[in-house]
Structure 1
Amino acid sequence: MRTSKRTQILEAAARVVEREGVKSVTFDSVAAEAGLTKGGLLYHFTSREDLVQAIHQHLADQWEAQMTAAAGRPAREASPTERLTAYTRVTTHSATRAELLFMLEGSTTPEHAAPWGAVMERWAPPSPTTDAGDPVALDRFIARLAADGLWLYESLTAERLTPELRRALAERITSALDHEDK
């Protein structure tokens, strides 16, 4: 299946961010990376903000697709434990620089945070703020924090974990989830 021009543009923009950061996303830099004219880019995105918002959505969609593949089903069809297990397996892999920069940048703007938040809402257990006395909710949230911590550790340090160690850590994190799904 051929990749759409829009997808090619979004992937080119992610490569620009990998090399040069979010501020480097301009129509000129992305058009050059995608092998298009600036006019060709403007056909798909009417403003830089439209392009940046589409990049957030594209990266969040890719992340969700990885979790859907890991779970073997969409979030709406998976149990809470299956969702968290998929989240843990995917999240224990280090992020790309583009993902990190966009997640950080997105956290300061509600519109940019929305695609990431929607994925988190479907796959990750919420903070147990309503009932801190629920041990199942606490265990699930601790597993989420452990997976997030591993993701940040490897994403922000020079150390690269072996695939075997990463898999063992993901399994160890999810082994705490032996509770019945509610």
Structure 2
Amino acid sequence: MTLISAEEGANITLDAVARQAGMTKPGLMYHFPTRDALLLAIVEHAARRVEDAMLATLAVPFDQATPAARIRAYARVAYGGDASRAEYAVAAEAAYRPALSGPWVGRLAKWFDLPPDLPPTTRARLTLARLAADGLWSAFATGLFPPEPQDRDALVALIEDLTAEGDVS
């Protein structure tokens, strides 16, 4: 069940979520006494969902994955196109409210951490792949200027090329 509609996005209210969940506002407030507590729980859920999807795409355990494999896993999840507008709105709100960015940083920073001894070109390629994946996720989630369906495979191939294992370990 989706508790946050695309129309609500960052305008999430306790009333709206209680209504969507089929419960009273006081019943919801027993678990989430404030809007901020509710938003934090939503952000934690979203960050866990993204990380779980990324873990599922890795061929090896996280601690055995190369930086390239980690970025590629993120890219595959990002260009999977299943992010909702509401999730995007919650992520965007977290960008402006440090208390809400904690779950994203806590779960995803290790995925994007690049060893300082990587060659500059390799670091740039991996960073560019991540930023391209960020852009695709944003375009899919918001519906604003998503890539044309006929271009999707070529875009995915370019991101995959940027994270090719070869010299990117």
TM-score band w.r.t. shorter chain: 0.7 to 0.9
Q: Normalized against structure 2, the TM-score is what?
A: 0.81
Q: 1:23 to 1:152 in 2, by over 3 A?
A: closer
Structure 2 spans left out of the alignment, 5+ residues: none
Contact 2:43-2:104 at 8 Å conserved across structures: yes
Matched, 1:29 2:29: no
Matched, 1:67 2:54: yes
Aligned to 1:3: none
C-alpha separation between the residues in 2 aligned to 1:34 and 1:76? 38
Matched, 1:88 2:70: no
Question: Please, which of 99, 110, 133 is the counterpart of residue 147 of structure 1?
Answer: 133
Structure 1 spans left out of the alignment, 5+ residues: 1-7
C-alpha separation between the residues in 2 aligned to 1:111 and 1:48? 13
Q: Normalized against structure 1, the TM-score is what?
A: 0.76
C-alpha separation between the residues in 1 aligned to 2:163 and 2:148? 23
Question: What is the identity, as a one-letter code, of the residue corresponding to 1:83?
Answer: R
Contact 1:92-1:147 at 8 Å conserved across structures: yes
Contact 1:140-1:177 at 8 Å conserved across structures: yes
Give percent identity, aligned residues only.
33
Tell me how large the CA RMSD over aligned residues is: 2.7
Q: 1:180 to 1:144 in 2, by over 3 A?
A: same
Question: What is the identity, as a one-letter code, of the residue corresponding to 1:137?
Answer: R
**Number of residue pairs the alignment of both structures matches:** 166
Higher RCO structure (Cα 8 Å, ≥6 apart): 2
